[in-house]
Structure 1
Amino acid sequence: MYSVSATATKAVNCTNVMLRNHFIVNVSVDKVAQIAKGTYYALLIIIEASLFGVLLAIHFKIRKGCHPFFGLLFGLVLSCYIFCGLAEAVCQFLFLLGGSADALNIIYLLYDLTYSAITALIFCSLVERTIATLWAVTYETTRTWLLYIILVFLSVTGYVYFASFQCRGCVVSAVVTAIIIGGCVCLYFLNRKLTIRYQKDLNFMGKVSLSMRYQIIENMIVVRKALLPVIVLDSLVTLVDGLSSEITTRIEEQDDTSCHSMIKYAPYIILNHVAMVLEYSIPLYMLFRRAYRRQLPEMCRKIRGSSRIQQSRDSMIQNVFGQELNVVPTQNEYFAKLQMEWK
């Protein structure tokens, strides 16, 4: 998704309102409505960024469940989503407070560059999973961090520069996204074929080590439950945003007056809410995965307060039913035990 900005000249009885995606319209509403709409969009964006923040915290906690190379890449993807959400919320508040156009343009630029980096990072994740599939035997113990960081940095910066400054970003994004989706589908079926083969082919089964089996299963899970859903949902957001921008452009071409009614932008607002629902679906889908969902209760306990945290620390031992056993006796239990011994 790339931001769409429009600058309107203020007319009599009209107010500039910033909608989602940096779109500024000149409509016949009062100041209260302007503040309400800006605050509404900012709160929705902050909630979305908070969901990605929770997802990032859980991802960091369970980072040992996958290869550290992929863990870092996917963590950077989530961090980019968080930054984009916060940047868009800051734009809304700066606009309401009368911030300078230069400051808004700088934030717009950082937003666009960061959002385009998401596609590059997911493409790097696809390449990483491809290497993990082709060299599954040795990849689990691979830790060439210097080469890895250099290649990722050059790939991301090269893509961002080429897509943002050298040609139409939407075209490049569409081509790379199609490659990612096709690559993810191919990788999933390839790893699925290998899994079925070592389960049924006795000759092949004896040649497959335990680490290779683990790597193949990890590849399937990562591709099917992380990369493919994220890139598909993100592509749908881009598609809806492009459609809303095209509709709004045609509306303004039909009526070139400087002051419009808010009803004229209803198609743009409706499509923007559809895009926001799709954006919300990305962190919500990941949080409802079993690996992430199992960590949510502990995250909630940490948020509730220090007393809850202390109680959870005291209850480290579990019985066979998974129930926590408090092995640290309280003061009353200690003196009650002493009284029973002196009787």
Structure 2
Amino acid sequence: MPDFGRVAIIGGGSWATAIAKVVVEHTGHIGWYMRRDDRISDFRRLGHNPAYLTGVHFDIDDIEFTSDINEIATEYDTLVFVTPSPYLKDHLKKLTADISHKFIVTAIKGIVPGEDVVCSDYFHQRYGVPYRQLLCIGGPSHAEEVALERLTYLTVAGSDEKMAREFSRVLACDYVKTETSTDVTGIEYAAVLKNVYAICAGICNGMGYGDNFQAVFLTNAIREMDRFLTAVNPVHRNICDSVYLGDLLVTGYSNFSRNRTFGMMIGKGYSIKSAQAEMKMVAEGYYGTKCMEEINRQLHVSMPILDAVYDILYKDLRPRDVIPALTEKLS
């Protein structure tokens, strides 16, 4: 069985904080990389993340904080990356330590911009991490609910399912149930697409479309997702599993969803820049839309929802023109 050794969290946002809470309760100690020294100083003084999930308190003695990513990468055996995908490469620019022998876990629901690959492929291609040592975390999991210890189901995926099962024990607790999968690529792409679809669901909600339409919309969204996943990674999967359909539903419906909120603002008439400026957190679906559109130009999968969101976000077409046309393509 693998020895995951000492575990470190890379990232300082809400999902990173929720993951840190779960992991440290199991391991008793974590390393934690945050980019900003002032945030680390405030965290040590307050006993909680000063910017995100401020109600989650930690025993500071259980955490080794650092703003030096090479220190973390050298001293820890398992690195759990929980940064917004648009910023991943910026964090890694400072990395000089060899991580090819580390266990890398990605809890990033996004594409690596400029590379148009999912995170596990990026770590394999850029840093030489063997696929056997790469895991990803997926499933319907708003950080806010994990922080409140509301029952959550996570899926840990890896090419070696035994390894995924072992790491899932690091996450399992009274309020987190875990499952495993070998569909790393499918789960990572599904996590990107559900953000795109949540933006569209939000746009439609902002325009006044009701629950009847939203049900039809999300039905079509899961079909579209299934078509893409089959094209990019044709393995057996049940698209109704919680890591696919469940993640889509919670992101498309929940008020915790930043992508849905971003879409609602656009549907109500906000410009993209003003919506981004007003939100305090990153709507990863904005970046994911462009990446997925570029990837699909090679695959030619029928993806009318993706195309519609791309037209609104990147071609400056008006939602009142794009969405009615999209509704004619749904069933």
Please give the range of the TM-score, normalised by the shorter of the 2 chains.
Answer: under 0.3
Higher helix residue share? 1
Larger radius of gyration: 1
**Structure 2 length-normalised TM:** 0.27
* Larger relative contact order (CA 8 Å, sep ≥ 6): 1
Higher strand residue share? 2
